[in-house]
Structure 1
Amino acid sequence: MSVAVIADIVGSRGLPDRAAAQRALEEAIARVERDVPLAERQLTATVGDELQGVYPSLDAAMAALLLIRLALPDDLDCRFGIGIGAHSDVPSRVGTLAEGPAWWAAREAIDAIHAAQARTIPGARTWVVADAGTAVDVRVANAYLLARDQLVTAMAPRTRRLAYGRILGVTQAELAAAEGITQSAVSQALGVAGVAALVEGYTQLRADPTPSSDV
């Protein structure tokens, strides 16, 4: 089984410089892959504002997408649809085409998060759908993602940078020096934003999986 991810840019039509936004997004994705290489196939632009990628497990996908959201520049954000199931590559004259239930599930997932964001959960950014043939229950994952996304969406740009650093093990003193602020200010920003919960959640995702959690 594979985990397919479809991503798109929030509010892409309203961006003042679409080309610059695309470059910034791709640089953020590349940075995350350098810092914590988790993807089987790195998220790559396909058409319009959409990207597609493949991860070896649901845990890996959720960990990587958290880092990507935190690494994005101030005025840029993305939605992510995660699909669990089989997938295949279809040869084509224009290159390999992604196909299969994992991708159909990812498309359903990103449509679901679009709808949730438009209706009652504006901070939502990530959703998981499992193909019916996988017998994977994703309710716990989605409950976690809704809470996590709300924390990240509410963060100030600096706090996202601080959270990214803490997840990667950068000390508060080092973060304070990089931001030109006091360590006390770093500690306060992290505490108010609930970053400790994000760090612990990420740690759990990166822990050795038990057989029952494998996807």
Structure 2
Amino acid sequence: MQDVKPAEHADPCATLIGDIVDSRGAPDRHALHTRLVSTLRRTDHLVAATTALRITVGDEFQASYETLGNALEAAFRIRLGLMPETLVRFGLSWGGATVLDARAGTQDGPAWWAARKAIEAAQAAERRPATHAVRTVYTPAQDDGPSAGAVNAALVCQDQLLSSLDERAMRILQRLVAGESRTEIARAEDVSPSAISQRIRAAGLEVIVNAARDLASVR
């Protein structure tokens, strides 16, 4: 019989569980999977992870991070990278995690259990009219992590703003986050820079960008 290695206990970390909203209804599930893999790889390149993003079952994926801010930034970039065609929900947590198999990347522990509760809370919120735009919920597993009330208040507002964007505003936001200038965005959209500035103000795109930057700094 093969010896079973003892579990390794890790320091507290931020955990992220994500899944595709209504993935079974996608017209081309193969294309959706390809886009998801590409987006996760790109996010791993941009946001340092303790355990890299990986697809677990179906269209569900997960990763762990040194800080909650990193996990929040990863969630934002994944969501932005898949919108508007594909919607994603996220459950995040902060707390202890246990490495069951370092080679396979298998983990367990309070931070993962709480992240699971968080994504279930996000799914439940989507079914209520008042909170139908909620896609991201944070549930800490221990008291020394960032405040759940403050983080979730910001996330509710971020989700509401993102849900209100039309396709052009979404494209402009994606280009802003990618670091493009307003002149470059105007050229890509075949409009004037002043028209881009007006759309940025009207849609609150700078608010979204600045809020995401502030959330990324949460420790």
Match of 2:3 in 1: none
1:18, 1:173 → 2: CA distance?
Answer: 36
Per mean C-alpha deviation after superposition, the further-off stretch among 178-187 and 96-105 is: 178-187
Say whether the 8 Å CA contact 2:101–2:107 is kept in structure 1: no
1:132, 1:33 → 2: CA distance?
Answer: 26
Give the residue type in structure 2 aligned to 1:112. Answer: A
Say whether the 8 Å CA contact 2:94–2:142 is kept in structure 1: no
Say whether the 8 Å CA contact 1:9–1:77 is kept in structure 2: yes
How do 1:164-175 residues align onto structure 2 when only pairs under 5 Å count?
164-175=174-185
RMSD of aligned alpha carbons: 2.0
Match of 1:138 in 2: 148
Query: SS at the partner of 2:127?
Result: helix
Give the residue type in structure 2 aligned to 1:117. Answer: E
Using the size of structure 2 for normalisation, the TM-score is: 0.86
Instruction: Give deviations 1:177-209, integer Å, cap 9, x for gaps.
Output: 2233332332222222111111221332345xx
Give the residue type in structure 1 aligned to 2:209. Answer: V
Match of 1:10 in 2: 21
Match of 1:95 in 2: 104
Distance 1:162 1:9, change over 3 A: same
- Asked if 1:108 is matched to 2:117, the reply is yes
Residue 135 of structure 1 and its aligned partner are, at CA, apart by 5.9
> Which of these two proteins has the greater Rg computed from alpha carbons?
2
Query: SS at the partner of 1:144?
Result: helix
Match of 1:65 in 2: 75
Per mean C-alpha deviation after superposition, the further-off stretch among 158-167 and 50-59 is: 158-167
Using the size of structure 1 for normalisation, the TM-score is: 0.87
Say whether the 8 Å CA contact 2:91–2:136 is kept in structure 1: yes
1:38, 1:154 → 2: CA distance?
Answer: 29
Give the residue type in structure 2 aligned to 1:51. Answer: F
Q: Which of 86, 92, 95 pairs up with 2:96?
A: 86
Distance 1:135 1:110, change over 3 A: same
Residue 136 of structure 1 and its aligned partner are, at CA, apart by 4.6
Give the residue type in structure 1 aligned to 2:82. Answer: L
Say whether the 8 Å CA contact 1:70–1:161 is kept in structure 2: no
Distance 1:29 1:157, change over 3 A: farther
Q: Which of 163, 185, 202 pairs up with 2:195?
A: 185
Distance 1:157 1:141, change over 3 A: same
Match of 1:41 in 2: 51
Unaligned runs of 5+ in 2: 1-11
- Asked if 1:161 is matched to 2:178, the reply is no
Unaligned runs of 5+ in 1: 208-212
Give the residue type in structure 2 aligned to 1:76. Answer: T
Residue 73 of structure 1 and its aligned partner are, at CA, apart by 4.3
Query: SS at the partner of 2:138?
Result: strand
Distance 1:168 1:205, change over 3 A: farther
2:112, 2:97 → 1: CA distance?
Answer: 7
Instruction: Give deviations 1:70-90, integer Å, cap 9, x for gaps.
Output: 121431010000011111221
Match of 2:133 in 1: 123
**Alignment length (residue pairs):** 207
Give the residue type in structure 1 aligned to 2:147. Answer: D
Match of 1:30 in 2: 41
